[in-house]
């Protein structure tokens, strides 16, 4: 029989082993970083401790990685862009495929602003967690228990509707995307013209499938239909050659598992990350006709990770004369959802990505180029924008983290949507991310509004009687 003292000793021993493992790993990485570039390396190390210090501390004491806790997920995304992005920038320079070549002084300035931004975020998040009592409750006064009962007929119908809408989209496009020549270049823009709202409905339908996954994982249900359900949706991503969409879907499933079942150990985290990266690479290789180009493609994919870092640094070049945009890249939050039949000249209201693309005359790029969240804030308002923008994110994310109710399907669903949206902010193009959140959740938001109105009307009728 295992005694309490044995359990306590094992726990203490585990903490000690994890502590020494983390310390040795950090020491080794710090030595390598400083050997590579001492001056910039100091900024990278400071950014590492600010972004990942809390996550690693939790890991030492618990043995699990709370990586999908809203605060840590945002900070990890931030470090991937502003920390790892520095090294992928250097890799692109080495391979000779970099678009910009920045002086060391400008890179150090950009890293300094990244550090300031993280400090502002951490202070704001702590303030919101401690002093702001507001919580978000989507299910208050709404009786949705029957909607979330297990009977599978409604989920069969949902999968069927997703497939039917996707088939209809393919019909309007003229073919299945995987069979359309040059789909990922100019062809996608051509065949998808004026179909934005239609695509948003499909995205919203696919997001509704997370409700079923939440129900299954919460109740530890592993029916054969669940696998049919998942295989059906993932097949649609494959046929659409939508690598980003499928990786995002798998990541969302992992977040749901994290919330509903258990957190990941370091070993599990590394294995699952490797599998997702490998899958993304395989989907990228699907675009290559020659087997001999796979190695080249692999190097390019690796070098293009966190490519927004280059554009973020370039923002400081673009604003040397204090030529800030004063919020013009935020106007598309209002104009993007408006159909062209109503607002035909809406393209003149540029998102940050499109402004950056046109500023540098990058006609070879089909879509806008993201410049990071703090890059866009600086482009619009200078350092004041970074301070206010990071304060806002810190406070809002603290409210989201406090609002999670693991007993509520809707709470878990919106927690997933919110933390992915905040992580999406890190890469930039604020207008696109905000509009994307509402478009991707269009159906469920409309349904909640209608239910709220119905409840209000019933209460109002009773008060009149």
Percent of the chain with pLDDT over 70: 83
Res 1 pLDDT > 60: no
What pLDDT sits at residue 117?
Answer: 97
Tell me the pLDDT band of 274, cut-offs 50, 70 and 90.
confident
* Residue range 113-147, pLDDT digits in tens: 999 999 999 999 999 999 998 888 765 545 555 55
What pLDDT sits at residue 291?
Answer: 46
Percent of the chain with pLDDT over 90: 48
Res 383 pLDDT > 70: yes
Averaged confidence pLDDT in the chain? 84
**Which stretch of 144-158, 206-220, 405-419 has the lowest confidence by average pLDDT?**
144-158
* Residue range 304-320, pLDDT digits in tens: 667 789 999 999 999 98
- Rounded mean pLDDT of 191-214? 85
Hey, is 103 helix, strand or coil?
A: coil
**Which stretch of 37-41, 150-154, 438-442 has the lowest confidence by average pLDDT?**
150-154
Give the count of alpha carbons within 13 A of 51, CB side only: 24
Res 220 pLDDT > 90: no
Res 380 pLDDT > 90: yes
Q: Are 241 and 188 spatial neighbours (Cβ–Cβ below 8 Å)?
A: no
| Cα dist from 414 to 409, 411, 419, 424, 437, whole Å | 9, 5, 8, 15, 10
- Rounded mean pLDDT of 269-284? 71
| Cα dist from 127 to 49, 250, 425, whole Å | 20, 33, 21
- Rounded mean pLDDT of 65-94? 92
- Which residues neighbour 336 within 8 Å (Cβ) at sequence distance 6 or greater? 346, 351, 431, 432, 435
Res 405 pLDDT > 80: yes
Burial class (CB in 10 A: 0-12, 13-18, 19+), 432: buried
CA 106 – CA 310 distance, rounded (Å): 11
Tell me the pLDDT band of 344, cut-offs 50, 70 and 90.
confident
Res 287 pLDDT > 70: no
CA 446 – CA 326 distance, rounded (Å): 32
CA 422 – CA 70 distance, rounded (Å): 8
Tell me the pLDDT band of 465, cut-offs 50, 70 and 90.
very low
Tell me the pLDDT band of 388, cut-offs 50, 70 and 90.
very high
């Amino acid at each position: 029989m295992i005694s309490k003292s044995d359990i306590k000793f094992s726990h203490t021993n585990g903490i000690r082993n994890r502590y020494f493992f983390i310390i040795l790993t950090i020491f080794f990485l710090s030595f390598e970083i400083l050997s590579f570039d001492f001056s910039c390396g100091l900024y990278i190390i400071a950014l590492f401790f600010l972004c990942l210090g809390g996550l690693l501390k939790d890991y030492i004491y618990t043995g699990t990685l709370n990586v999908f806790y809203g605060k840590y997920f945002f900070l990890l995304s931030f470090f991937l862009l502003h920390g790892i992005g520095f090294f992928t920038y250097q890799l692109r320079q080495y391979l000779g495929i970099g678009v910009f070549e920045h002086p060391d002084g400008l890179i150090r300035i950009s890293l300094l602003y990244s550090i300031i931004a993280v400090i502002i975020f951490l202070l704001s998040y702590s303030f919101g967690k401690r002093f702001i009592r507001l919580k978000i409750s989507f299910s208050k006064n709404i009786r949705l228990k029957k909607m979330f009962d297990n009977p599978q007929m409604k989920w069969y119908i949902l999968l069927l509707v997703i497939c039917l809408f996707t088939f209809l989209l393919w019909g309007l496009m003229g073919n299945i995307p995987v069979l359309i020549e040059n789909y990922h270049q100019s062809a996608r823009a051509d065949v998808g013209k004026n179909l934005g709202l239609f695509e948003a409905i499909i995205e919203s339908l696919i997001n509704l499938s997370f409700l079923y996954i939440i129900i299954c994982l919460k109740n530890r249900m592993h029916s054969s239909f669940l696998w049919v359900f998942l295989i059906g949706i993932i097949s649609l991503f494959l046929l659409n050659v939508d690598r980003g969409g499928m990786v995002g879907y798998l990541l969302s499933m992992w977040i749901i598992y994290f919330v509903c079942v258990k957190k990941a150990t370091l070993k599990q985290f590394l294995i699952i990350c490797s599998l997702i990266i490998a899958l993304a690479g395989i989907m990228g290789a699907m675009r290559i006709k020659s087997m001999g180009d796979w190695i080249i493609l692999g190097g390019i994919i690796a070098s293009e990770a966190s490519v927004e870092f280059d554009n973020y640094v370039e923002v400081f070049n673009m604003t040397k004369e204090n030529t800030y945009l004063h919020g013009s890249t935020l106007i598309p939050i209002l104009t993007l959802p408006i159909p062209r039949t109503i607002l035909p000249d809406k393209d003149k209201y540029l998102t940050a990505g499109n402004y950056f693309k046109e500023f540098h005359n990058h006609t070879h790029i089909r879509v806008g180029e993201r410049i990071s969240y703090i890059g866009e804030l600086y482009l619009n308002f200078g350092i004041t924008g970074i301070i206010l923008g990071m304060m806002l994110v810190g406070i809002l994310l603290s409210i989201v983290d406090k609002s999670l109710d693991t007993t509520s399907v809707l709470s878990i669903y919106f927690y997933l949507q919110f933390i992915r949206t905040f992580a999406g902010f890190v890469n930039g193009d604020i207008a696109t991310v905000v509009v994307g959140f509402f478009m991707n959740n269009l159906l469920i938001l409309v349904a909640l509004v209608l239910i709220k109105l119905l409840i209000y009307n019933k209460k109002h009728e009773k008060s009149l009687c």
